[in-house]
């Protein structure tokens, strides 16, 4: 194939295809792809509508994000970009925007665990290119979708042959066409595409064709790739056509973000200026941000959460990586912890970091799913037993709900919670034996357990299957 204008020619190998936006949009010289800088006259031809990344500080660092933007994330480790796309997805769904998540690298199970409650949002669609791509249609991955609840199953479109670029594109744009408004997209990742499609040229051609098309469709797209997995040639080609390019790096345990490109805007600190940050899940705090610490109640709140988790000060200190004396001083409000320390405490205590600054004033939703439940670490539990907290701590100060799973032929010595007040449990699946000082009481599926002044001395699952117990705790008022 030969494309030419003004004497210039591009000669393509037989197995390589090229899609031009406006000839000659893509040129090839001395082994390097030459793509247009940004997209032709984009900012000049339409009024730009600003949107948010979901992170106020990042909006400032980028100098704004706008409808039509293609934002490329160069990830040094392959895991740093997830916090940013997760926050973008959550923010977009809260604003009522439709989101398409294109997954080449994550199995649906892994992705929905990462998405949490956002995974069941009606405006989310997952284009699953993993199950029949890297997953090779293995039964383990298929069973997850077959057994998933309708709220998750209805969110997924599995591409039968994601290695077929034309078929994949048809699925992608067909899905987008059924969604109103400015759709948000996350592509995870260009690296996964390259591994499946067998070469950089095909990925560059797809990306080069998709960016202007997505712009014309009034979308915002995040494109993730592992920086070290691609040649300098490909990275230059990808950056050249993007409106925004961001680098994420980790050096000696410190994570940083730098803006590589920000077309038609002024990034904070200029290009390639490192902005240090800490991330825990979707919570991201940049160095220098002024965070309002929870005042005199901070220490009491941390202590309350620690006690609820069944942790001693020494146990919490070990998990956070500080001394027991530090935890004691924090709980007595003698000292305030650093932001990284607060982030780690929130992770260990299974709460959103914002709760440590004060309970949310925003009312909770009406439905709490198992996918959004946070695992609780309790000292009495054997390693193979799990407890997950259904309700966000702080929203219902006197009440907490847990999903307790006890494996078959497993015994728990003592009670798994320390609570002042009433406890009520409903055995959803399996069988249990509840031990007291004066004997045992059998508990079968469908039975209700109510504890007021009697404390169990142990729990036992004598059956062949896991027992799943919904446990409601009504305690004293929060101090």
Cα–Cα distances in angstroms (integers) from residue 216 to residues 46, 161, 440, 468, in the given order? 10, 27, 68, 50
Using one digit for the tens of pLDDT, what is the confidence trace for 273-292?
Answer: 999 998 877 788 888 765 44
Architecture of domain 372-474: Sandwich (2.60)
Output the average pLDDT for the chain: 81
Question: Are the C-beta atoms of residues 71 and 65 closer than 8 Å to each other?
Answer: yes
Shortest CA distance to 83 belongs to which of 374, 260, 215, 277? 277
Segments of the chain with pLDDT less than 70: 1-47, 289-296, 354, 357-381, 383, 389-398, 418-421, 475-479
d(CA 317, CA 194): 44
* Residues 415 and 397: beta-carbon distance below 8 Å: no
CA gap 158, 397 in Å, rounded: 41
Cα atoms in the 13 Å half-sphere on the side-chain side of 346 = 26
Beta carbons of 159 and 127 less than 8 angstroms apart: yes
- Provide the strand spans (E) within 81-233: 99-103, 124-128, 156-158, 184-188, 220-226
Can you give the pLDDT at residue 290? 52
Distance CA 259, CA 266 (A): 10
Residues 6+ apart with CB under 8 A from 92: 54, 99, 184
The pLDDT score that the predictor gives to residue 90 is 93
The pLDDT, as a whole number, for residue 20 is 38
pTM: 0.59
pLDDT at 374: 59
Q: Domain spans of the chain?
A: 32-286, 295-357, 372-474
The correct answer on CATH 3.40.50.300 for the domain covering 32-286 is yes
Q: What is the pLDDT of residue 407?
A: 87
| Per-residue model confidence (pLDDT) at position 183 | 95
CATH 1.10.260.40 fits 295-357, yes or no: yes
């Amino acid at each position: 194939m030969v494309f030419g204008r003004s004497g210039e020619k591009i000669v393509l190998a037989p197995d390589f295809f090229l899609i031009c936006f406006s000839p000659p949009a893509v040129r090839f010289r001395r082994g390097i792809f030459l793509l247009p800088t940004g997209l032709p006259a984009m900012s000049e031809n339409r009024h730009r509508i600003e949107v948010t990344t979901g992170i106020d500080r990042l909006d400032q660092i980028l100098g704004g994000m706008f409808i039509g933007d293609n934002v490329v994330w160069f990830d040094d480790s392959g895991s740093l970009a997830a916090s940013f796309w997760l926050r973008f997805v959550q923010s977009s769904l809260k604003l009522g925007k439709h989101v398409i998540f294109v997954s080449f690298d994550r199995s649906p199970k892994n992705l929905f665990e990462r998405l949490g409650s956002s995974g069941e949002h009606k405006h989310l669609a997952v284009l699953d290119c993993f199950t029949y791509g890297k997953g090779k249609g293995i039964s383990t991955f298929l069973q997850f979708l077959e057994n998933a609840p309708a709220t998750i199953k209805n969110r997924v479109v599995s591409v039968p042959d994601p290695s077929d670029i034309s078929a994949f594109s048809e699925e992608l744009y067909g899905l987008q066409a059924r969604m109103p408004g400015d759709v948000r997209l996350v592509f995870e990742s260009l690296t996964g595409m390259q591994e499946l499609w067998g070469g950089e040229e095909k990925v560059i051609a797809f990306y080069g064709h998709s960016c202007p098309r997505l712009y014309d469709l009034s979308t915002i797209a995040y494109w993730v790739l592992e920086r070290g997995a691609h040649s300098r040639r490909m990275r230059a080609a990808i950056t050249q056509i993007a409106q925004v390019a961001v680098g994420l790096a980790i050096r000696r345990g410190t994570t940083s973000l730098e803006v590589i490109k920000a077309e038609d805007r002024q990034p904070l600190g200029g290009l390639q200026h490192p902005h240090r940050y800490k991330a825990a899940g979707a919570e991201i705090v940049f160095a220098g941000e002024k965070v309002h610490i929870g005042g005199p109640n901070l220490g009491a709140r941390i202590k309350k959460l620690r006690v609820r988790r069944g942790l001693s000060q020494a146990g919490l200190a070990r998990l956070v990586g500080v001394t027991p004396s530090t935890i004691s001083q924090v709980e007595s409000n003698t000292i305030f912890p650093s932001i990284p320390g607060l982030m780690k405490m929130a992770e260990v205590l299974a709460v959103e970091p914002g709760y440590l600054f004060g309970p949310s004033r925003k009312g909770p939703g009406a439905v709490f799913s198992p996918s959004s439940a946070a695992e609780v670490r309790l000292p009495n539990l054997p390693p193979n037993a799990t407890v997950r907290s259904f309700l966000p701590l702080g929203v219902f100060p006197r009440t907490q709900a847990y999903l307790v799973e006890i494996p078959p032929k497993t015994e728990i010595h003592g009670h798994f919670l320390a609570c002042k007040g009433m406890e009520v449990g409903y055995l959803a699946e399996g069988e249990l034996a509840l031990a007291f000082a004066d004997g045992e009481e059998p508990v079968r599926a469908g039975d209700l357990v109510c504890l007021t002044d009697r404390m169990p001395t142990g729990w036992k699952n004598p059956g062949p299957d896991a027992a799943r117990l919904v446990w409601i705790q009504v305690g004293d008022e929060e101090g």
